[in-house]
Structure 1
Amino acid sequence: MQSFDSDGVRIAYMDEGEGEPILLIHGFASNVLTNWIDPRWVRALKESGRRVIAYDNRGHGQSEKLYDPSLYGAPTMAEDARRLLDHLGIDRVDVLGYSMGARIAAFLVFAHPERVRSVVFGGLGINMVRGMVGTGPLARALEAPRIEDVTNETARSFRAFAEQTKSDLKALAACMRGPREKVDADQLSRISVPILVAVGSEDVIGGSGAELAALIPGAKFLDIAGRDHMKAVGDARFKQGVLDFLTSRA
């Protein structure tokens, strides 16, 4: 992966393929490899004739690790995405964000609507508005000396995933303790670019995708039937739904 300087923070990214550009923003404790390469998103998008840009969020993957929670607000992380577009000389992109990446994508379109052609909010439904509860237990789970010390089932699953992706647990805990800027229905109602909300039917972390889509004028909803938060990301129906959306969007 290459890297660039985002206002003093080193961000690792990949840029492959030719055609209309699409920017991929991964979820919490994940990275480009886990979220987009291994589930064959990059391959599918390149084969559809698109230029694929993906980056490791600050504190994740090969990007710089930061330990100050104040440096992890979603609007701040959205500026990493905007600076990457500037660095590559790209005026406007389609954006696909998953989970935390969907939240970052929302703040990107709020702040820079002229840079966004369309957005896919993957793995995050109505909880984008309601907020994620239990961030304290999740942070403590990441800070625990051993995974065996974590008794909360949801927190333990996040810790296990972070260990699987070989993440910096201290940096992830700082990210989890960072600012939780509110997304309200009024902000979503003013989005004017095409939107697809794609959430697994069993996703209790992201919440109802249909409820989120109902808040955004003209948004489409893709129900990834039978999939939870972790399993929906690589589902073939999710990929095909995104490809169909990108083909049909204005």
Structure 2
Amino acid sequence: MNLIANGEYKIKINDIFHWIKVEGIEHNTIPLVAIHGGPGGNHYVFEHIAGAKLSDHRTVIYYEQRGCGRSEKPLSQSDYSYELLIEDFTKILEWSGFQKVDLLGYSFGGELALEIVASLPEKIHKVITSCPSLISLETQYLLQIAGFVSVAEPRLIYEIEQVLAETSSIHTKYKRIWEIVNENTLDKFMFNNINNANIYRKQMIESGLKNSGHMMAALQRNPREIPLYERLSQITNEILIITGVHDRNSGLGISNLIHNNLPKSKWVLFNESAHFPEIEETDKYVNQVLAFLES
């Protein structure tokens, strides 16, 4: 007997109205809970591309994190933390009535999925992390800066070099570089095929959803006491890591770090993708996810 029905919901969780969507309940599978990136992003593009194909075969539950997308914003910018995000997930799982779920997290969502399974291993079956990040790791800042330089025009490379020559902290330099990067460079940074960047931008405009940046700032101000990479070896669930070979945002280095420290992980590379394999190689992506969940 299904506990919930297909459709969209606005449910008050920890004093915040969360947007939740259920698809494919008729398949009666272990639900696959999708966790979006950002921090501060939303599900709109994933939901309309890869998600639509996944829900042809599996029960899929989407939710947008507090302050993100179609969910309500907290009154205070201090009301963002990993602990609160995990608590929100726990209450959403209780609301759904399911005792155990699979997770699919992309970008920062992959990182958050690992935080969730580290905290609630008995509630999670399998986990897919797609181009996962480690946002508190300063090495990721360096990987992103190198990624910008690899696709930038000479004038922008010069400006980035000028910022790097400053005496400020790497965090300050990182923020400054993101501020000077133009849209064309960002598209080449995020996508292997620029046509896919156009698809992404068109859908984001259609969604009308924007990232305030509040969650990213709050999580960077208040990282976990013990970094995730130091706790990966304690996660014993089966994990699939998907990474685009051309990913310049979190990239091969971060995925390799995660893979090497997880006891039960499988790593699959997507040769025609950058940070969004779910958009650039959708059918391969969906097939890999389904095969992993059904194995």
> SS of 2:18's equivalent?
strand
Note the alpha carbon deviations across 1:229-249, whole angstroms, 9 max, x for none.
Answer: 1x312222222111111011x
**Paired residue for 1:167?**
209
Deviation at 1:32, TM superposition (A): 2.4
Contact 1:23 1:95 in 2 (8 A): yes
**Paired residue for 2:239?**
195
**Paired residue for 1:30?**
41
Aligned residue among 134, 151, 156 for 2:180: 151
2:274 maps to amino acid? D
Aligned residue among 241, 251, 263 for 1:207: 251
Deviation at 1:76, TM superposition (A): 1.8
Aligned residue among 166, 177, 190 for 2:217: 177
Q: Is 1:17 aligned with 2:62?
A: no
**Paired residue for 1:237?**
284
1:8 maps to amino acid? D
Note the alpha carbon deviations across 1:209-242, whole angstroms, 9 max, x for none.
Answer: 233211101200011113111x312222222111
> SS of 1:199's equivalent?
strand
Structure 2: stretches of 5+ with no match in the other structure: 1-7, 142-169, 188-199
**Paired residue for 1:61?**
69
> SS of 1:102's equivalent?
helix
* Higher Cα radius of gyration: 2
2:278 maps to amino acid? V
Query: For the residues of structure 1 that align with 2:14 and 2:248, how far apart are their CA atoms?
Result: 35
Query: For the residues of structure 1 that align with 2:71 and 2:172, how far apart are their CA atoms?
Result: 24
Query: For the residues of structure 1 that align with 2:118 and 2:35, how far apart are their CA atoms?
Result: 16
Query: For the residues of structure 2 that align with 1:136 and 1:46, how far apart are their CA atoms?
Result: 42
**Paired residue for 2:266?**
220
TM-score, scaled relative to structure 1 = 0.81
1:26 maps to amino acid? H
Greater alpha carbon shift after TM alignment, 58-67 vs 196-205: 58-67
Corresponding pairs, count: 233
Please tell me the root mean square deviation across aligned C-alpha atoms, in Å. Answer: 3.0
**Paired residue for 1:3?**
10
**Paired residue for 1:100?**
108
Structure 1: stretches of 5+ with no match in the other structure: 143-149
Query: For the residues of structure 1 that align with 2:99 and 2:137, how far apart are their CA atoms?
Result: 32
Deviation at 1:167, TM superposition (A): 2.8
Contact 1:110 1:191 in 2 (8 A): yes
Query: For the residues of structure 1 that align with 2:173 and 2:12, how far apart are their CA atoms?
Result: 32
> SS of 1:70's equivalent?
coil
**Paired residue for 1:146?**
none
Change (3 A) 1:239 1:38: same
1:79-158 map, 5 Å:
79-124=87-132, 127=134, 130-131=137-138, 132-133=140-141, 150-153=179-182, 157=186
TM-score, scaled relative to structure 2 = 0.70
